[in-house]
Amino acid sequence: MSQVTFIERDGTRRIVEVVSGESLMQAGTRAGVDGIIGECGGSCMCATCHVYLTDEDFARLDPPDAMEQDALEFTASNQRPTSRLGCQVKLSSATDGLTITVAEA
Amino acid sequence: MQRGVVIIGAGHGGSQVGFSLRQEGYDGPIHLVSDEPDLPYHKPPLSKAYLKDASQDVQILRAEKAYADARIELALGRKAQAVDRQARAIRFTDGATLPYDRLVIATGATNRKLALTGCDLAGLHSIRTRADAAYLREAMDAASDIAVIGGGFIGLEAAATFALLGKSVTVIEVAPSILGRAVSPVVAAHVDAEYRKLGIRVLTAMGLERLEGEAGCMRAIRLTDGTSVAADLVLVGIGATPNDALAREAGLTCDNGIVVDATLATSDPTIFAIGDVANFPHSQAGRRVRLESVQNASDQAKHVAKTIMGKAEDYRETPWFWSDQGPMKLQMAGLSFGADRHVRSGAPDDPAFSVYHYAGDRLLAVDSVNRPGDHMVARRLIAAGISPSEADLGEGPERLKSLIGR
């Protein structure tokens, strides 16, 4: 069983059990994490699943591809060096223990 | 007592309204009414990811908890039958009523039906709801020859999915080209060629004579040129019509959807319409449009919440669309009505490219094929009213980014 921790904008910590193969965005919306919207359903189009990772977690994952980088650059507000779009981060046993902060609106 | 806001329809738009109202500080009751029994879900994956994988459930828009946290009362599986504008209440098919201070109609659209001999045969499908897609997914297993009637986004997305699953697929389009009303001819021709490479037969400028069957089951489609196409399953994707009957019967002005002003108010100032069902004046296009897209529904939901809270401004979001077509990601920004010049970027044989639509020197819209970066920049250019020259396009993405200050 693999878990991730979401930190909502008001500081609330939410531990979510993940289904292998789903995305961070899917896990977040399924669990009702505040601020994870996923308006486009995971097509890397809307940046409403923008999150920040810790430096260690960011380095642990495959880096964002060009499409995700463009979406982050042009549609997400408050982009940081460890920004990711939740819909592009696939979860598995290898991602157990990620700590994810919902990006500022 | 405060009656609150009632929202009819729980697609992308309807589901968003309540959350946006709370964000705007609305504190009264909110009711979200849907004639479907399911928790509101994403519709775009129904023709792709959901269809492909029988183990996949629909992807919900939000958890049930999110509605509870936002104090949005869900009325699922309940059909609104009438709007009583005098009493300011909606009436359900079971006779119950629900009063409102403000009503938002987000009833979406219904797939156009084929009117042809043989339409009563088993094996005729369309995709709009979870139920439609579940029925199709189940029937698909046993089918070997699938015909798709209509070369629009949904039909073609499904065609690519069928081909991927090893089905023999034929797309039949009455117009001279697939995607004729949706994208530029260059993009349409590219998609057509790519689909043929996937082994999909694409018949354009082709009329339908009748559907033919045996023992009540679909077997073939007879075409107007006298030939026929074997088909044990037929998917119809020939567009949609707005679900405006409720509004029409309530005496609201309707014309290809519910007519709203730029603040999204109908001819009754206490009633609003958003999304696929709303016919609204588009600032950039300079004409009325009715758009069927996730972006339009979501952005109008956010806008109508502001209007209801007394912050009435004109809706002027730049429209964008996307369609995942097999190996191709099609992305469209802006509206190309009235374009008189079309410029393709990149090398002529590059399978990833964008087409820029201009009216004179003004950029109206951009269609991109596997060029997500172009699309993102295009959305910003069009929203800001910046029109790159042909020389700018020739210089490439970095030049375009610099025009929006990147």
Tell me: the pLDDT tens digits for B103-115?
999 999 999 999 9
Q: Which residues contact B46 (CB under 8 A, 6 or more apart)?
A: B58, B127, B129, B130, B132, B133
Structure tokens, B382: 């069009």
Are B62 and A42 a contacting pair at CB < 8 A? no
- Distance between CA atoms of residues B212 and B223, nearest Å: 11
* Long-range contacts at A8-17 (CB < 8 A, ≥ 24 apart): A8/A33, A8/A34, A8/A35, A8/A102, A9/A34, A9/A35, A9/A102, A9/A104, A9/A105, A10/A34
Are B322 and A75 a contacting pair at CB < 8 A? no
Tell me: the pLDDT tens digits for B240-275?
999 999 999 999 999 999 999 999 999 999 999 999
* Confidence bin at A105 (pLDDT 50/70/90): confident
Share the mean pLDDT of chain B. Answer: 95
Closest CB from B45, B373, B377 relative to A41: B45
B64 CB neighbours in chain A (<8 A) are 32
Are B63 and A30 a contacting pair at CB < 8 A? yes
A101 in contact with B, Cβ within 8 Å: no
- Global pTM? 0.95
A75 in contact with B, Cβ within 8 Å: yes
Q: What is the pLDDT of residue B195?
A: 96
Question: Can you tell me the mean pLDDT for B342-364?
Answer: 93
Interface test with B, best of A29, A33, A75 (most B CBs within 10 A): A29
Q: Nearest CA to B354 among B131, B163, B190?
A: B190
Are A34 and B69 a contacting pair at CB < 8 A? yes
Nearest Cα residue in chain A from B323: A43
Is residue B285's pLDDT more than 70?
yes
B45 CB neighbours in chain A (<8 A) are 41-42
Are B322 and A45 a contacting pair at CB < 8 A? yes
HEC string of B134-190 equals HHHHHHHCCCCEEEEECCCHHHHHHHHHHHHCCCEEEEECCCCCCCCCCCCHHHHHH
Closest CB from B65, B298, B373 relative to A39: B298
Tell me: the pLDDT tens digits for B185-207?
999 999 999 999 999 999 999 99
Q: What is the pLDDT of residue B1?
A: 66
- Distance between CA atoms of residues B339 and B356, nearest Å: 10
Q: What is the pLDDT of residue B312?
A: 85
B331 in contact with A, Cβ within 8 Å: yes
Q: Which residues contact B170 (CB under 8 A, 6 or more apart)?
A: B145, B146, B147, B148, B200, B201, B202, B203, B229, B231
B397 in contact with A, Cβ within 8 Å: no
B63 CB neighbours in chain A (<8 A) are 29-32
Q: What percent of chain B has pLDDT over 90?
A: 93
B249 in contact with A, Cβ within 8 Å: no
B329 CB neighbours in chain A (<8 A) are 43
- Distance between CA atoms of residues B124 and B236, nearest Å: 7
- Distance between CA atoms of residues B252 and B234, nearest Å: 37
Question: Can you tell me the mean pLDDT for A58-78?
Answer: 90
B386 CB neighbours in chain A (<8 A) are none
A70 in contact with B, Cβ within 8 Å: yes
* Confidence bin at A75 (pLDDT 50/70/90): confident
Share the mean pLDDT of chain A. Answer: 93
Are B65 and A32 a contacting pair at CB < 8 A? yes
Q: What is the pLDDT of residue A77?
A: 82
Is residue B16's pLDDT more than 80?
yes
Q: What is the pLDDT of residue B181?
A: 80
Tell me: the pLDDT tens digits for B69-93?
999 999 999 999 999 999 999 999 9
- Distance between CA atoms of residues B191 and B324, nearest Å: 11
Tell me: the pLDDT tens digits for B138-151?
999 999 999 999 99
Q: What is the pLDDT of residue B28?
A: 98
Nearest Cα residue in chain B from A26: B59
- Distance between CA atoms of residues B193 and B13, nearest Å: 35
B44 CB neighbours in chain A (<8 A) are 40-41, 43
Q: Is B268 left (phi over 0), alpha (psi -120 to 50) or beta?
A: beta
Interface test with A, best of B376, B381, B400, B403 (most A CBs within 10 A): B376
Intra-chain end-to-end CA distance of chain A, in Å:
31
B61 in contact with A, Cβ within 8 Å: yes
Closest CB from B294, B331, B379 relative to A39: B294
